[in-house]
Structure 1
Amino acid sequence: MTPVTVIRGAGPVVLGIPHAGTELPPDVTADLNATGRALTDTDWHIDRLYEGLLPEATIVRANAHRYVIDANRDPEGTSLYPGQNTTTLVPLTDFDGRPIWTRPPSEAAIANRRAAVHAPYHTALAEALMRAKARHGVAILFDCHSIRSRIPFLFEGVLPDFNIGTNEGRSCAAEVAEAVHEICNAASVYTTVRDGRFKGGWTTRHYGRPADGIHAIQMELAQSTYLATEAAPWVFDRAKARALRRHLRQMLTALADLAPKLGGFS
């Protein structure tokens, strides 16, 4: 299994896609129960949704499923949301709190997965950001995610359509957050929140260092915005996606245009 796929672009924007992969090594498949093998918590078709929106962007995509190891979690296992329901570096339950393993992985197995899957993804992502910064003086990580809009185990009610995460403004310059937020607000058929239930995962918090010229922002989309239904077989709705992609393209283009004003090279 190749742990990561990188599509190089020449621009300052890097798209991180940690949760679109569905690959499972045979030993992992054997240890998952029927709930786990359904792979319900995949960011279904998120790579397809963003494909071609900003041709000059670099794309870094994890190929393994998050049940192998979650590329958007702290490799040391520290919780992103202390005191709240969430999933761990190697999840033991799905987003509905249901066990996913017949035989949970050992600490040794988790360490092996961290080295074989988690580390290569972040090595590739860090290299992409450094390459963008070297070329443009600044790099902007747009971390691409999606999730079902109703998951009572994780959050109350219905999730907004656009969930912007900036770690309470610490992971990017205010101009980056505002550029994305303004486009979301202007898309009046969608609902928007910034730093609500999703404030940015480990990737956003780890790489977002505005003072060092690396800005990171997470976009968590409600899957109802581009899937026919938020249930198997997780059908990509072309009409919904076409409408949504117009706004996502505006966001990415705005960020690319903003890069020189953030201290980058003009």
Structure 2
Amino acid sequence: MSDWIDIVEGEAPLIVAFPHVGTGLADVGEGFRSPWIARRDADWWVDRLYGFAADMGATLIGTRISRSVIDLNRDPSGASLYPGQATTELCPTTTFDGEPLYAGAAPDEAEVARRRTLWFDPYHAALRAIDRLRERYDRVVLYDAHSIRSHVPRLFDGELPQFNIGTNGGMTCDPALSAAVASICAASGESHVVDGRFRGGWTTRHYGRPEQGVHAIQMELAMRGYMDEPTTPDAANWPPPFDPARAAALTAILSRIMKAVHAFALQEV
């Protein structure tokens, strides 16, 4: 087991990926303006929200490396996932709010290549658990789990819906899967959208091949659903600690979602 990647290997036809829960700055931390700024945009506590998925037999894959070091959910070629819209790079140079991450020079081409070899490539090699599961099942679902602050004006207007389902316009999974997930979100009474501002990152788009039995879907949660977001995050108040009781209502909805995803993979619906 690596000291920067966490894998729980399950036997169900379900993989839950957490590419952005890490906060480790590895050997590049001194280059950032501050450790706090380099860690601020993590998908805080998302792996804890979905901890129950291990009991369903899901394979869980998470990283301890900060997305500021390298974003494991970006196109390694450097192509933008959202042309014409604000986003961050494979090795980000700014925060979500557009602030510079580095005190000096940003990573050059050689450094980006080094980081890709050290972290990006092994993470995606782990996601090839898809192949192991496809040998046993006609369908495998890759569920890419994310969260983000409810208000990030540089990235989206107003308040983000609570549940943001991404399928790249229906290309990465069977419509029955996204419909099942959206139905549970709608029944919860919380806001949701399918293929809104977040249509699925590189992981969803790269691995989602429904015609080959691999169905990928991304879920981007607004953080207000499981923790109290301060109006202005700073080093003293961010992130709020994880409180299972505070997160319980959202966890219950996510549990229903994951059961539906599992049932889809088993072709029970």
Short-chain TM bin: over 0.9
Q: Paired residue for 2:248?
A: 242
TM-score normalised by the chain length of structure 1: 0.94
Q: Check whether the contact 2:42–2:67 (CA below 8 A) recurs between aligned residues.
A: yes
Q: Paired residue for 2:127?
A: 125
How do 1:59-208 residues align onto structure 2 when only pairs under 5 Å count?
59-103=60-104, 104-126=106-128, 128-188=129-189, 190-208=190-208
Verify: 1:12 aligned to 2:18, yes or no. Answer: no
How much does 1:261 deviate? 2.3
What is the one-letter code of the residue matched to 1:187?
Answer: S
Q: Paired residue for 1:44?
A: 44
SS of alignment partner, residue 219 of structure 1? strand
Q: Check whether the contact 2:10–2:54 (CA below 8 A) recurs between aligned residues.
A: no
Q: Check whether the contact 1:164–1:193 (CA below 8 A) recurs between aligned residues.
A: yes
Per mean C-alpha deviation after superposition, the further-off stretch among 195-204 and 130-139 is 130-139
SS of alignment partner, residue 135 of structure 2? helix
CA RMSD of aligned residues (A): 1.6
Q: Distance in 1 between matches of 2:142 and 2:4?
A: 20
Cα distance, 1:237–1:164 mapped onto 2, change above 3 Å: same
TM-score normalised by the chain length of structure 2: 0.93
How do 1:244-259 residues align onto structure 2 when only pairs under 5 Å count?
244-259=250-265
Q: Paired residue for 2:212?
A: 212
How much does 1:37 deviate? 4.1
Q: Distance in 2 between matches of 1:183 and 1:15?
A: 18
How much does 1:2 deviate? 3.0
How much does 1:256 deviate? 1.1
Cα distance, 1:38–1:78 mapped onto 2, change above 3 Å: closer
Q: Distance in 1 between matches of 2:186 and 2:217?
A: 16
SS of alignment partner, residue 113 of structure 1? helix
Seq. identity, %: 45
What is the one-letter code of the residue matched to 2:121?
Answer: A
Q: Check whether the contact 2:142–2:215 (CA below 8 A) recurs between aligned residues.
A: yes
Q: Distance in 1 between matches of 2:214 and 2:70?
A: 25
How much does 1:81 deviate? 0.2
Q: Check whether the contact 2:226–2:247 (CA below 8 A) recurs between aligned residues.
A: yes
Structure 1: stretches of 5+ with no match in the other structure: none
What is the one-letter code of the residue matched to 1:225?
Answer: G
How much does 1:34 deviate? 2.2
Q: Distance in 1 between matches of 2:12 and 2:53?
A: 13
Map Cα deviations across residues 95-118 of structure 1 (whole Å, 9 max, x no partner): 000001013112111100001100
Map Cα deviations across residues 208-231 of structure 1 (whole Å, 9 max, x no partner): 000000000000000111112253
